[in-house]
Structure 1
Amino acid sequence: MDTAELLVSELVTNALRYGEGEIRLRLLLDRTLVCEVWDGGLVQPRRRRARDTDEGGRGLQLVGLLSAAWGSRRTPHGKTVWFELALPDGDSPGVDAVEALLSLY
């Protein structure tokens, strides 16, 4: 749950900071959890390598490290950025969020 909240927060924050117009969030729960965030901006997101002294620039790295998959696509009125999270099945350990965060430094 914490990982899903963190990644949703990253995508919504990016939409607020860099997107345009109306922002929408959709969560789809099936065999995985899929989060989609729409905005009216046309600029596609890109991962970048943040320097140690940068205050930002790690959001999409987190999304890439902690999700099973992520991406973006153009829509008729902007873009959609999405990620997919595997649901815990009780047998396999999930991604260690602390280790993933530390790997950024």
Structure 2
Amino acid sequence: MESKQFVDQIAKACDDKRAEGIVILDMQEVSLMADYFLICDGSNERQVQAIAREVKDVADKEAIDVKRMEGFDQARWVLVDLGNVVCHIFHQDERHYYNLEKLWGDAPQLEVNL
């Protein structure tokens, strides 16, 4: 599956779990880490974990390996590394603090197709 198609599918999964502020950054010309970053937030720890679980379930269904998942237990910032797509799921308080959109300001923001 193409990375863009997959990140759109992940965005839909996040939206299904009521994630807020879904942003997709095109990292292809900015970083070698991944093609896309998806950034979103949840209002509490339980919601952040539910979003992360849904992302993992979609990856499993598409036979895409989850290379790494970090921060799940604390649920303040869960990073899900899916290879070409890295999903950052924040607790809303942490998202404002880290402000990845500003940190990676050189990366074009894509339209989120839900």
Of the two structures, which has the highest relative contact order with CA contacts closer than 8 Å and spacing of 6 or more?
2
**TM-score with structure 1 length normalisation?**
0.46
Work out which of the two has the higher radius of gyration on C-alpha atoms and give 1 or 2. 1
Pick the structure with more helix per residue: 2
**TM-score with structure 2 length normalisation?**
0.43
